[in-house]
């Protein structure tokens, strides 16, 4: 079980002192059988007058900070160490109800899955639905894994990854039309494509661990990352990363799950001041394994 340490620092700078409103911080990974938080520390400057933790509607951990001090910079410095135990790729047998598509969800689970099955974004001409149906075999039924894996790798191969500094996530139809997007855009597009097929899917926000020796094969690292979970009977929620073609939780550190990307923003808040008071936001993120950290320390000692 490898240990991973995440250092995520965000600094807002202003050209004059401003006041700060409420800020919400969604950076703490969720504990589970595949991920366990061993240690964490959140340093905020200036020190908030209050800092409390809550669980949101999806059970994600959210810190809420309030301030009573004006300043020309605001810093959130987050350190967390997790024990990461990636689960193997799911394996269904032909006897499982979801082995072939189409399949039927259990009547007890269906009421809880409806919000994840129902498309949330408009597709008036059926273009997203048409794209999704392209992964079905001409002669039904189609193995479900073939559909999910095909979409995951299809988005990676068909679209061009593009960093974007504008806030928010673009409409899935824009991603399809332009053929470009960020990891959040890719995730939302795949979610809506799966929902068009009646497959429950939700948004995941977190981090990606990119080992130094394979960094050139990953995109979307060096920042928070986003991917997809799809729900299958007898398999549960399974991770799919269309940005990097990853199936399962290998290299993926889950922080939050949500029905819509707007419900899983890592850090957001307001300041009180003129619009031109804001200068810049700097974000630095580093995810390292104990092995890499030990190697770097040994190298430093040798020097």
110: domain CATH number is 3.10.620.30
- 248 and 106 in a common domain: yes
CATH number of 39's domain: 2.60.40.2250
- 48 and 8 in a common domain: yes
Question: What is the predicted pLDDT for the residue at 170?
Answer: 95
- Mean pLDDT in residue range 96-107: 94
- 133 and 113 in a common domain: yes
In tens, the pLDDT along 232-279 reads 998 999 999 999 998 888 889 999 999 999 999 999 999 999 999 999
| Contact (Cβ atoms closer than 8 angstroms) between residue 217 and residue 210 | no
- 216 and 122 in a common domain: yes
- 257 and 120 in a common domain: yes
Buried b (16+ CB within 10 A) or exposed e, 27-45: bbbbeeebbbeeeeebebe
Question: What is the predicted pLDDT for the residue at 292?
Answer: 63
In tens, the pLDDT along 107-124 reads 999 999 999 999 999 999
> Does residue 165 register a pLDDT over 80?
no
87: pLDDT confidence band, cut at 50, 70 and 90? confident
- 66 and 16 in a common domain: yes
Domains identified in the chain, total number: 2
Predicted TM-score of the model (pTM): 0.91
- Tell me which residue range forms the domain holding 252: 100-261
> Does residue 85 register a pLDDT over 60?
yes
Q: Is residue 95 part of a domain?
A: no
| Contact (Cβ atoms closer than 8 angstroms) between residue 44 and residue 63 | no
Q: Which distant-in-sequence residues (6+ apart) come within 8 Å of 95 by Cβ?
A: none
- 53 and 10 in a common domain: yes
- 130 and 61 in a common domain: no
Q: Is residue 92 part of a domain?
A: no
């Amino acid at each position: 079980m490898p240990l991973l340490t995440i250092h995520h620092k965000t600094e807002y700078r202003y050209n004059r002192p401003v006041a700060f409103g409420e800020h919400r911080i969604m950076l703490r990974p969720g504990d589970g059988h595949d991920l366990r938080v061993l240690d964490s520390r959140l340093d905020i400057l200036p020190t908030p007058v209050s800092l409390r933790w809550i669980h949101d509607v999806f059970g994600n951990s959210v810190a809420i900070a309030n301030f009573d001090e004006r300043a020309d910079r605001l810093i959130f410095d987050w350190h967390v160490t997790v024990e990461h135990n990636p689960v193997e790729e799911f394996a269904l047998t032909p006897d499982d109800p979801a082995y072939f598509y189409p399949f039927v969800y259990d009547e007890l689970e269906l009421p809880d899955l409806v919000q994840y099955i129902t498309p949330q974004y408009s597709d008036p001409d059926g273009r997203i639905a048409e794209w999704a149906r392209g992964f079905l075999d001409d002669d039904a039924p189609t193995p479900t894994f073939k559909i999910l894996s095909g979409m995951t790798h299809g988005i990676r191969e068909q679209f061009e990854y593009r960093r974007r500094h504008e806030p928010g996530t673009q409409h899935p139809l824009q991603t399809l039309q332009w053929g470009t997007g960020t990891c959040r855009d890719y995730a939302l597009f795949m979610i809506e494509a799966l929902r068009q097929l009646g497959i429950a899917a939700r948004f995941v926000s977190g981090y990606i661990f990119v080992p130094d020796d394979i960094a050139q094969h990953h995109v979307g690292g060096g920042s928070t990352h986003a991917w997809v979970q799809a729900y299958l009977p007898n398999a549960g929620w399974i991770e799919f990363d269309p940005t990097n073609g990853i199936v399962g939780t290998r290299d993926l550190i889950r922080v939050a799950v949500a029905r819509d990307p707007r419900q899983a923003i890592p850090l957001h808040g307001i300041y009180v001041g003129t619009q031109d008071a804001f200068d810049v936001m700097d974000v630095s993120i580093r995810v390292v394994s104990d092995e890499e950290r030990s190697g770097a320390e040994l190298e430093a000692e040798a020097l």
